[in-house]
Chains A and B, each alone.
Chain A
Amino acid sequence: MPVWDVFGKRTPGDEFVLVGGIKAPDTEMALVLARETHFRHKEGVAYGVRRRGEEELHVGSYDPDLIGGVTDRSYRRQEAYAGVGGKLKRVARQMAEQGLRIDRPRPPQHRSQA
């Protein structure tokens, strides 16, 4: 299956820059797949694909406002660990008010370097 380099512009004034690569059988399929694999979170305002080894850049025809969708996609952001520290402190405080405490030791600092 041919390899296609994927290019994108973050703002209208930018030049196209390489952002990644995909495999696809032809230009049309490459453009459909490039849009969802590299621009589904509003990463840019324009995108294109170039078959590796060739010169021609094929630019996607979608309006800049449509790339990355037009509905609220905040639910797609990975925020599972946001606010965990604050939540731990809040829970610890609530437990302390009840005369309880978390006595399980915390993991050692810099454990990945140990």
Chain B
Amino acid sequence: MTPSDDARVTLLLSLADDELILGHRHSEWTGWAPHIEEDLAFSSIAQDEMAHARLLYNLVGPILGRDEDSLAFGRQPEEYLNALLCERPNLDWGYSIARQYLYDTADAVRLEALTSSTWKELADLVEVLRLEETYHLDHARVWFQRLAEGPVTGRQRLADGLSTGIGEAVAIFEPLPEEEALVSDGLLPRQNEDLLADWLGAVGEELERVSLDFVLERHRSVGEMVPTGSGEVEEVGQAFNVPGLVKRDGRWTHEGGFAGAGGRRGRHSPDFQALWEEMTGLFRAHPGARW
């Protein structure tokens, strides 16, 4: 089964849009992070994520006949395929670090899988991205450990952030349209369901080590999705649900499947509209401008 160009585009845009939108949220900390050193570090990570999105847009651009700016800023809200987790507002530092930890651990699992993609340009690019993502993961883990093992207020905020984010972090692995074809052709070397199992097992162990695994049982459900823009997304007739998280034979795993449609099918939370308007405002106000 050969995947269509649309399937390739979906695979790349889901990766790229995650990086762009999370990078945009990270950048909102510039000038507001807890201290000046962290302000620089988090801003730099934000720029890295946007640079990664740019490289991925340049890979998908020739298929669509569009340049990187047009892909990053020139699409309608329902054409963005980022996971819901990436578009949520920053809330507090506890949530932002929890989200960075959840996202970058999930990203590491999927990037490792993509290094053996039969799409050679993608596999080569992913090798480069992983070198920089290693640093992001170091940053997330250093903060994660200090908040988890530190004074009670910081630990509670981290726990609240994890509870808020973990359901939507699972949805990073929402199956892609035409995923079967992508897997059978080797473009996506493993199913998202397998990647989710790997990620959840590893994160479950890390959370148990710091006695925060209760967030896997007591967490917020994935928020209600709304059709965005023109409503051209697939009508599914039911709310977006992600697999339940349970512990079986000493390992955290998921039960049930994804239902409905989330970010990978262009369905976003109400938070996305405001982000999109701000992020694309300049581009939309001056069509075709160069600077």
Contact = CB atoms under 8 A, between A and B. Distances in A.
A99 B51 CA distance: 44
Interface stretch (A7-15, A63-71, A88-96, A105-113): A63-71
B51 A66 contact: no
Contacts of B38: 33
B131 interface: yes
Nearest to B125: A71
A36 B52 contact: no
B128 A24 contact: no
Is chain B's binding surface mostly helix, strand, loop or mixed? helix
A32 B51 contact: no
Contacts of B138: 32
B131 A36 contact: no
Nearest to B145: A28
A75 B139 contact: no
A75 B46 CA distance: 13
Contacts of B221: none
Contact of B41 (A37, A71, A73, A75): A37
A33 B37 CA distance: 6
A70 B131 contact: yes
A36 B38 CA distance: 9
A75 B132 CA distance: 16
Interface in A32-90: 32-33, 35-37, 40, 62, 66, 69-73, 75-76
Contacts of A71: 48, 51-52, 55, 128-129, 132
Interface residues of B, number: 22
A70 B55 CA distance: 12
Contacts of A70: 128, 131-132
Interface residues of A, number: 21
Nearest to A76: B47
A70 B48 CA distance: 10
B132 A69 contact: yes
Nearest to B150: A25
A36 B39 CA distance: 10
A25 B40 contact: no
Given A25-B146, A29-B146, A71-B132, A37 B52 contact: no
The 9 residue pairs across chains A and B that have the minimum distance between CB atoms: A36-B41, A33-B37, A36-B44, A37-B40, A22-B37, A40-B44, A70-B131, A71-B51, A32-B142
23 contacts: A23-B35, A23-B37, A24-B37, A25-B146, A29-B142, A32-B41, A32-B142, A33-B38, A33-B40, A33-B41, A36-B37, A36-B41, A36-B44, A36-B139, A37-B40, A40-B40, A62-B135, A69-B132, A70-B131, A71-B55, A71-B129, A71-B132, A75-B51
